[in-house]
Chains A and B, each alone.
Chain A
Amino acid sequence: MSLGPYASFIVWSYLLVALVVVLLIGWIALDYRQQKARLRDLEARGVTRRSGRGAADLS
């Protein structure tokens, strides 16, 4: 597969899209872990929801 004289523009476009998508996924995954850790920490300190369910309970 030859990308012709403008190969660098094509390759950079795809690389940039891949990078931003990976960053988005990573950011969302990290945020999830952080929120879960904060909820577990609050639960460990005895702070509970009014419903009585565990703070980090997602089901």
Chain B
Amino acid sequence: MTLIDLANPTRFLSLTAKILPWLAAATAILLAVGLYQSAMAPDDYQQGATVKIMFIHVPNAWLSMFVWGVMSLSALGTLVWRHPLADVSAKAAAPIGAAFTFLALVTGSLWGRPMWGTYWEWDARLTSVLILFLMYLGLIALWRAVEDPSRAARAAAVLTLVGAINIPIIKFSVDWWNTLHQPASVLRMGGSTLDKAFLIPLLVMAVAFSLLFVTLHLAAMRNEILRRRVRALQMQQASQPRA
């Protein structure tokens, strides 16, 4: 099975129909395990029980950037390889990425209030993630505003690739500028600084949320293929001479 095989939407629908139930089951099991481990994790010596917010905040924050990365690859697929499913993938991923980014912002805010004494600070990390959220909304609006899917695809692909500049800015903002946000403690040179009691539940939750994204993304891609099929048939119907 190669990427070319998946270029056929009908084959993609057939394959995903088989794997989606398994993916959904794996996601549910891993989420249950992750939530149990998060509940059982000890309190942090400084943050107390609020450290439990980390187990949902960090996976959402990682995914907010990862989804844009997926959309950027899809944008390349649209512009360079003209893969028939590339735009479908990008368009399906955008609302899911927006939801993860929204959750990263809100859970971060709810974590920040007891730890920093404020819900919001216009520092580099928080502001760059807010910009990412607004870019997601802009892309969704663009797809909705342009009626012709192929024209919308090209414009959205260019905008996605331009917006990808924001991803390294988000990642390294805590190193480049003085921010209220703590520096990276898991994905960093020299290894994680987190204790295993926190690291293991965090990684389980990160894998669970990643599986959740894959499951939702494939399901949303199926919907988008069906939507385009509806549009094609409606246009075909409209062009037929009336009896």
Cβ of B222 and Cβ of A47 under 8 Å apart? no
Given A25-B216, A28-B220, A36-B226, A59 and B14 touching (CB < 8 A)? yes
In the complex, which of the residues A1, A6, A25 contacts B48, with contact meaning CB atoms closer than 8 Å? A6
Chain A contacts for B17, CB-based, 8 A: 58-59
Q: Please count how many residues in chain B sit with their CB below 8 Å of the partner chain's CB atoms.
A: 40
Residues of chain A lying within 8 A (CB to CB) of residue B111: 9, 13
Q: Which of B35-89 contact A (CB under 8 A)?
A: 39-40, 43, 48-50, 52-53, 56-57, 60
Instruction: Give Cα A9 to B107, complex, Å.
Output: 9
Within A31-59, the residues touching B (CB, 8 Å) are 31-32, 35-36, 38-39, 42, 45, 47, 49, 53, 55, 58-59
- Nearest-Cβ distance from residue A11 to partner chain B, whole angstroms: 10
Task: Determine which of B43, B96, B219, B236 lies in contact with A4 in the assembled complex, contact meaning CB atoms within 8 Å.
Answer: B43
Q: A36–B111 Cα gap in the complex (Å)?
A: 41
A42 nearest CB across to chain B (Å): 5
Q: Are B114 and A9 in contact (CB under 8 A)?
A: yes
In the complex the two chains form, is B103's CB within 8 Å of A16's CB? yes
Do residues B49 and A4 form an inter-chain contact, with CB atoms below 8 A? yes
Which of B43, B114, B212, B233 touches A49 (beta carbons < 8 Å)?
Answer: B233
Partner of B230, one of A5, A9, A29, A39: A39
- Docked Cα-Cα span, A10 to B49, in Å, equals 8
